Amino acid sequence: MSTIQDFSGYQPTWCPGCGDWGIGIAIKSALIQLGLSPSSLFVAFGIGCSGNMNDFLNAYAMHGLHGRSIPNAIGMKLANHKMTTLVVAGDGDCYGEGGNHFLHACRGNHDITVIVHDNRVYGLTTGQSAPTAQKGYVSKSTPLGIIEESVDPLSLAITQGASFVAQAFAGDAIHMSQMIKKAIEHKGFSLVNILQPCVTFNKVNTYPYYMKRVYKIDDNHDKESITAAVQKAREVFEEKYPLGVLYEVHRPAYHEQLIQLELTNSLKDRVRFIDFKPLTQYFK
């Protein structure tokens, strides 16, 4: 049985009060509750404040390039599908630079859990606006206010084939941990979008801002209905933020549909292929 200590690497370098602290703890406690250990876990980290969790969370991890953690995770999962696979990324990372990968990973229903630190700003590069920034948001890169509408990651995921979509708030560690745990337990592509105040660079979407606007999704919500789920997701444009599972359906994951993968034996562990005859006959 692993402990928080087993998963804890170096002392984090996040700003005091940053939502990343809470997310870090929520991830670790979900992993412990699931009985996982650093040796049974793949994590693909992006680049950004979120990705810097790489030094603070012990696992078999790739701390790759900005935007590319999802394909890294897909590759790891296909090579060894017996390992639990997480992506820890930021909003710019996952919805901007890596937007194409995000969209296609949803389609593929790859069995990975994508945890996005959504602070609506670029923290590590000192405060430019992110794809999830609200229209009109003033930042160093958009001093006259951002012209684009914000990305709605929840609707995007739901409509493109993700089979589990949830939202959490960095100010509610217990709920956040529950969502992460559910997402990991789900077979198929799962997204947990975490609303996370950036205390240093985002003076709009603060803890008090969210405290006033978040609410828990009640039991009457139909999680299997795309329409109901998208309706909830679109509330972001009215500055209402539902927390909980918006959408959850069960479909076979990508690796479960690959005929070349054996259930009990991973691609890494299977025997070497040596029977060339059937392949070379075509060349005669």
Tell me the angle at which helices 99-108 and 153-160 cross, rounded to the nearest 10 degrees.
40
Query: Residue 150 in contact with residue 135, Cβ under 8 Å?
Result: yes
Q: How many Å apart are CA 277 and CA 185, to the nearest integer?
A: 42
Q: By C-beta, is 144 or 277 nearer to another protein?
A: 277
Least distance to another protein, CB of residue 147, Å: 26
Shortest reach from residue 44's CB to another protein, in Å: 7
Cβ proximity to another protein, 174 vs 258, nearer residue? 258
Distance between CA 40 and CA 59 in Å, rounded?
Answer: 8
Identify which of residues 4 and 258 has a Cβ nearer to another protein in the complex.
258
Residue 77 vs 223, nearer CB to another protein: 77
> How many residues in total does the chain contain?
284
Q: Which residues bind another protein (CB under 8 A)?
A: 9-10, 38-42, 44-45, 47, 52, 54-55, 58-65, 67-68, 70-80, 82-83, 100-101, 103-104, 258-261, 267-268, 270, 272-276, 278-280, 283-284
Look up tokens 């170096």; give the residue: 10
In the bound state with another protein, the residue whose beta carbon lies nearer, of 107 and 203, is: 107
CB of 105 to another protein, least distance (A): 9
Counting Cβ atoms within 10 Å, is residue 100 exposed (0-12), middle (13-18) or buried (19+)? exposed
Contact present, 168 and 181 (Cβ < 8 Å): no
User: Min. distance of Cβ 118 from another protein in angstroms?
Assistant: 22
Shortest Å, Cβ 252 to another protein: 16
Distance, CA of 254 to CA of 252 (rounded, Å): 7
CB atoms within 10 A of CB 194: 27
